[in-house]
């Protein structure tokens, strides 16, 4: 539970007021602050008016749907997103992760299950586990790019800040710590999420695809994060640390 004088603020974006109210009450009982929004317009208004620590975002919204909102959010923000949907097909989960969501939960679900997902995402995005921390380096430089661990963002060769989702931040950190070493999907999942991959889990591939886009890579011939056939991926560049 968070300190009551500065509780974690969760924005619930769902057009079902019954679900929104239920979730808000549950989160507030567990020490969080909760704000609700019924559509994308209300979501942007809330983001403009107050600090939000995590967004619970429904896929099926009137007007702009959750996928569009998540994609637009990722252009300029790395606020963690847990996506909800009434549909449980793998394609919806894949699209959600591809658009930058940090986790995914199909409806119906128990509030305590969502609460557990929120806590897990917040731990991953706001407090890196020991194997992802860099106490000896505030920045890492690679291929003209700068990873700033103090500000938790990426800076391109022209000095422009590029927003990363929590999942993208953790993934790039792992690659930087293991530069020029081939990492399998299982290793990447274990390093970033503390779990092994199941045979049909393509979440790492999707996150790498998004990360390559952020790095301006040619999808057909990436030069920074390369695919090693039947083995995994490798960050194929020199990495320098700066304190």
pLDDT tens-digit series, residues 123-135 = 776 644 444 444 4
pLDDT of residue 188: 85
Residue 102 and residue 183 share a domain: no
Using the predicted structure, report yes or no on whether residue 33 has a pLDDT greater than 90: yes
Sign of CA dihedral 192, 198, 203, 206: positive
**Mean pLDDT, to the nearest integer, of 168-193?**
85
CA dist., res. 229 & res. 242, Å (int): 33
Sign of CA dihedral 176, 177, 180, 182: negative
CATH number for the domain harbouring residue 50: 3.40.50.2300
Per-residue pLDDT of 69-94, as tens digits, reads: 888 887 777 788 898 876 655 555 66
Using the predicted structure, report yes or no on whether residue 120 has a pLDDT greater than 80: yes
Q: What value does the mean pLDDT of the chain take? A: 82
* Total domain count, the chain: 2
pLDDT of residue 9: 93
CA dist., res. 59 & res. 36, Å (int): 15
Spell out the long-range contacts of 199-208 with Cβ–Cβ below 8 A and sequence spacing 24 or more: 200/90, 202/94, 203/97, 204/171, 206/94, 206/97, 206/98, 207/97, 207/167, 207/168, 207/171, 208/171, 208/233
Residue 116 and residue 22 share a domain: yes
Residue 34 and residue 118 share a domain: yes
Nearest to 64 by CA among 97, 49, 42: 42
Residue 115 and residue 19 share a domain: yes
CATH number for the domain harbouring residue 136: 1.10.10.10
Residue 105 and residue 145 share a domain: no
> 126, 146, 174: which is the final residue of a domain?
126
DSSP tag of 130: G
> 126, 160, 181: which is the final residue of a domain?
126
pLDDT of residue 92: 59
With tokens 């990873």, the residue in question is 147
Residue 121 and residue 140 share a domain: no
Residue 211 and residue 180 share a domain: yes
Using the predicted structure, report yes or no on whether residue 95 has a pLDDT greater than 80: no
Residue 102 and residue 60 share a domain: yes
> 126, 157, 185: which is the final residue of a domain?
126
Using the predicted structure, report yes or no on whether residue 59 has a pLDDT greater than 90: no
**Mean pLDDT, to the nearest integer, of 169-185?**
89
Residue 115 and residue 30 share a domain: yes
Residue 59 and residue 33 share a domain: yes
Least confident of 53-62, 103-112, 152-161, 218-227: 103-112
Per-residue pLDDT of 15-29, as tens digits, reads: 999 999 999 999 999
DSSP 177-193: HTTTS-B-HHHHHHHHH
Alpha helices, DSSP H, located in 31-89: 40-49, 66-74
pLDDT of residue 121: 83
Query: Quick check: helix, strand or coil at residue 122?
Result: helix
Would you give the distance in Å from CA 1 to the centre of its chain?
Answer: 22
CA dist., res. 178 & res. 34, Å (int): 39
pLDDT of residue 163: 81
pLDDT of residue 7: 85
For residue 37, with 0-12 CB atoms within 10 Å meaning exposed, 13-18 middle and 19 or more buried, which class applies? buried
- Is 1 domain-assigned? no
Give the domain range for residue 141: 130-242
pLDDT of residue 97: 66
Residue 140 and residue 41 share a domain: no
- Is 100 domain-assigned? yes
């Amino acid at each position: 539970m968070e300190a009551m004088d500065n509780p974690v603020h969760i924005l619930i974006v769902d057009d079902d007021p019954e679900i929104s109210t239920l979730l808000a009450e549950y989160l507030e009982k567990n020490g969080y602050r909760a704000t609700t929004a019924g559509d994308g317009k209300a979501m942007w208004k809330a983001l403009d008016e107050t600090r939000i620590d995590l967004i619970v975002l429904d896929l099926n919204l009137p007007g702009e749907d959750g996928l569009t909102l998540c994609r637009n959010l990722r252009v300029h923000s790395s606020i963690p997103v847990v996506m909800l949907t009434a549909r449980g097909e793998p394609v919806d989960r894949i699209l959600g992760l591809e658009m930058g969501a940090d986790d995914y939960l199909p409806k119906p679900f128990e509030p305590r299950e969502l609460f557990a997902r929120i806590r897990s995402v917040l731990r991953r995005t706001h407090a890196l586990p020991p194997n992802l921390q860099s106490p000896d380096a505030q920045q890492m430089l690679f291929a003209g790019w700068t990873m700033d661990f103090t500000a938790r963002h990426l800076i391109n060769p022209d000095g422009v800040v590029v927003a990363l989702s929590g999942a993208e931040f953790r993934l790039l950190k792992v690659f930087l710590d293991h530069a020029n070493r081939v990492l399998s999907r299982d290793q990447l999942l274990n390093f970033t999420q503390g779990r092994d991959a199941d045979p049909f889990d393509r979440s790492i591939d999707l996150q790498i695809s998004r990360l390559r886009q952020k790095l301006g890579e040619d999808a057909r011939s990436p030069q920074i994060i390369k695919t090693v056939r039947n083995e995994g991926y490798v960050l194929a560049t020199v990495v320098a640390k700066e304190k």
